[in-house]
Amino acid sequence: MNWTLMVAAVGLVIGFGSSSALAAAYGVAVATTMVITTLLIYVVMRERWKWTGALAMSVAGGFLIVDLAYFGANLFKIPDGGWFPLVIGLSIFTLITTWKKGRQLLLIRLRSDELSMERFAASVSKTDPIRVPGTAVYMFSQVGMTPPALLANLRHNEVLHERVIVLSVATADVPRVHGAQRAEVTDLGSGFYQVVLRYGFMEEPDVPAALTNITRQGFGVDPDETVYVLGRETVLATDLPGMAMWREKLFALMARNAMNAARYYRLPTDRTLEIGVNVEI
C-alpha cells in the first residue's frame, strides 16, 4: 500500500506539472475532508457517546457551517483540477460499497441452504458415515451454521474426520483481546466442536497458534494431525435481484483478487485444502 501511494503521489505531481497546479485539487480535497469529518463526529456523538440529537446538532452544526463555507468557496476550483480528488473519492467509495453489498448478497445466497451444526451433528450420528483419524478444521464466518465446504466434502467423498472443528473468527471493538478471552469452545457431540476465536482490530489472527493454546479439558489440537479446509466461493454475476450487473461483475473481480484466507489466518500451506463452491448473486 505504501508503494502504491508513493507511485500515485509521484504520478499526480507529474500529471499536474507543478505544485501550484495542484492547489485547486488540494483545496477541494481538504474542504471535503473537513465536511465529512464533521458528519462523522456527529455520528460518533449519537451512536457512541449517546448524546441527544439537539446537543450533537448544536456542536456539530457550528463546525458544519464553517466547513460548508470553505467547501462552497472551493467549488469554483473543480474545473481547474478540483475534480481529481472527487473522482478518486467516488471511485474508492464505489469499490467499498460494492464490496460491502456484494458480501451481504453472498451471505444471503449461502444462507439459502443453511443447516445448523446441531442438526448436522445429529444427522451424522444417525447415518454414521466413515470417519478417518485426525482433525479437520472448517472455517466459516456464521457461528452455529454448517459450512458449505463441510457439506460438499461429505456429499462428494462420503467421509469425515473423527473430529471436526467448525471455526469462526470474530473481530472485537477493542484493539486487543486478552488471551484468556480468545477462544470459546462448544462441544456439539459426535466429534463435532464449534470454536469462536476473538481478536482485537489491531491484532493479526494466527489460527493454528490459537487452537494449540486452547486448554479446555478434553480438547486439544495436534498440528501434525490437523488439516484446514476452506470454502472457495466463485461468484457468478446473474440477473437475480441485488446489484446492477456492472457492480456484480466488479464484485466478482474483487472477490477473485481478494487476499488469500489461508495466508491471512496463517494456515500451513501444506495442510490446507480448498473446496470450491459456485455462488450466483
Domain residue extents for the chain: 2-81, 115-238+257-280
pLDDT at position 230, please? 87
**Closest of 216, 230, 236 to residue 272, by C-alpha:** 230
pLDDT at position 196, please? 93
Q: How far is Cα 232 from Cα 106, in angstroms, rounded to an integer?
A: 12
Q: How far is Cα 19 from Cα 9, in angstroms, rounded to an integer?
A: 11
CA atoms within 13 Å, Cβ hemisphere of 56: 16
Q: How far is Cα 208 from Cα 125, in angstroms, rounded to an integer?
A: 28
> pTM above 0.75?
no
Regions of the chain with pLDDT less than 70: 112-113
Q: Say which residue the cell 460518533 belongs to.
A: 44
Give the containing element (helix H, strand E) for 126.
Answer: helix 117-127
pLDDT at position 43, please? 94
